[in-house]
Amino acid sequence: MAIPLSIQWINGQLIILNQQKLPHETEYITLNTIEDAFDAIITLKVRGAPAIGITAAFGLALAAQRHETETLEVFHHYVKKDAIYLGSSRPTAVNLVWALSRLQQSINSAKTVEDAKAQILAEAIRIHEEDEQACRNIGGYALDLLEGRTKVLTICNAGSIATAKYGTALAPFHLGKELGREFEVYACETRPVFQGARLTVWELQQAGVDVTLITDSMAAHTISAKGIEAIIVGADRIAANGDTANKIGTLNLAILAAAYNIPFYVAAPVSTFDLQIPNGKNIPIEERSAEEITYVAGQPIAPKNTKVFNPAFDVTPAHYITAIITEKGIIHPDYERNIQELLVAVK
């Protein structure tokens, strides 16, 4: 039993777990170029907000190593162009542009192109390492909040393979396992891409955590029939007022938590907050291809040319959220004030 990893930097090579192939095949692939990194992100070979940020960071650093110029100004120009390209791969998770801008800032004081190349790679490695520690901290805070509760529902995959390790929403289950605390996790399958069925169930099974799969439409019944005691989800972008974008279907669960009077927790590192955005209305929501809905496992399930609406994320208004769990501490309402306070304290 082991917690699976999705991103590894080994001897100067970026190796990722191909999440498209799970759960049938555990395939690791090497991303050699910036185009490889872009493709891996857009095709969901790697997904989950922190994991796409880390992959983009390594993609940018890899490309930077190959730029041939002696002039710092030209080098900065290349890096900026590359960052814009990678940043356009997926629009909702802010961790992507957060990581890319951290890398760009890391070379501001470089004196030579060689320096800048070393610094940009070092920053990508740092982002990767910091995320593992952040997720472990999130797990610790989440365990405190979940004290006395064992039956927990989640959606999508906000796990180890969506981050450097441990995950955000799944961190308390992995950390709980290490510390001898058992949970009964219920995973929504997460239509249309099935991150719950394919990824969360696989990941928790790998780690020896008890997990039960349900379809998304079974959530309300399961809460009452199985006595679910809390819901915990990840996040792709959290606005300044606490409104939270996460995988489509998250909002349904938040409304159910309120109806059944159980806590609804969001777990996310501080890199997922976007204080430039005042509220959820301004969060860009990715829309993906119609085929994700009209086909299941390669088979058509709807008439040809069916009109489809396929938003990949929804926004949960802050007032449904019981607490936001970060690596720096737990944020309770009033979110507008307390998010600001925590994030300013961090800087």
136 annotated as belonging to a binding site for a ligand: no
Taking CB under 6 A as the criterion, the residue among 4, 50, 53, 280 binding ligand MRU is: 50
Residues 244, 235 contacting (CB under 8 angstroms): yes
Strand-pair partners of 266? 233, 324
User: How far apart are alpha carbons 311 and 278 in whole angstroms?
Assistant: 21
User: Catalytic annotation on 236?
Assistant: yes
Residues 108, 139 contacting (CB under 8 angstroms): no
SS3 of residue 37 by DSSP: helix
The region of 67-75, 141-149, 155-163, 296-304 touching ligand MRU under the rule CB under 6 A is 155-163
236 touching ligand MRU, by CB under 6 A: yes
Taking CB under 6 A as the criterion, the residue among 4, 31, 47, 63 binding ligand MRU is: 47
The region of 107-115, 220-228, 232-240, 273-281 touching ligand MRU under the rule CB under 6 A is 232-240
Residues 6 or more apart in contact with residue 108 via CB below 8 angstroms: none
Residues 232, 253 contacting (CB under 8 angstroms): no
Residues 327, 230 contacting (CB under 8 angstroms): no
In whole angstroms, the minimum distance from the beta carbon of 227 to ligand MRU comes to 24
49 annotated as belonging to a binding site for a ligand: yes
Torsion of CA 102, 103, 104, 107, to 10 degrees: 120
Q: Which residue is nearest to ligand MRU (CB)?
A: 234
Q: Segment 66-105, which members bind ligand MRU (CB under 6 A)?
A: 93
- What are the Cα distances from residue 173, in Å, to 185, 204, 262, 266? 8, 8, 18, 15
Taking CB under 6 A as the criterion, the residue among 167, 176, 249, 280 binding ligand MRU is: 167
In whole angstroms, the minimum distance from the beta carbon of 193 to ligand MRU comes to 6
41 touching ligand MRU, by CB under 6 A: no
In whole angstroms, the minimum distance from the beta carbon of 234 to ligand MRU comes to 3
**Phi, psi for residue 87 in degrees, rounded to 5:** -65, -20
- Count of residues in contact with ligand MRU, rule CB under 6 A: 18
Q: Which one-letter amino acid corresponds to residue 46? A: V
- What are the Cα distances from residue 89, in Å, to 44, 182, 213? 10, 38, 30
Q: Segment 247-266, which members bind ligand MRU (CB under 6 A)?
A: 247
Catalytic residue among 82, 131, 236, 274: 236
Residues near ligand MRU (CB under 6 A) are 47-50, 93, 156, 158, 162-163, 167-168, 195, 234-236, 246-247, 312
Annotated binding-site positions: 47-49, 90, 195, 246-247
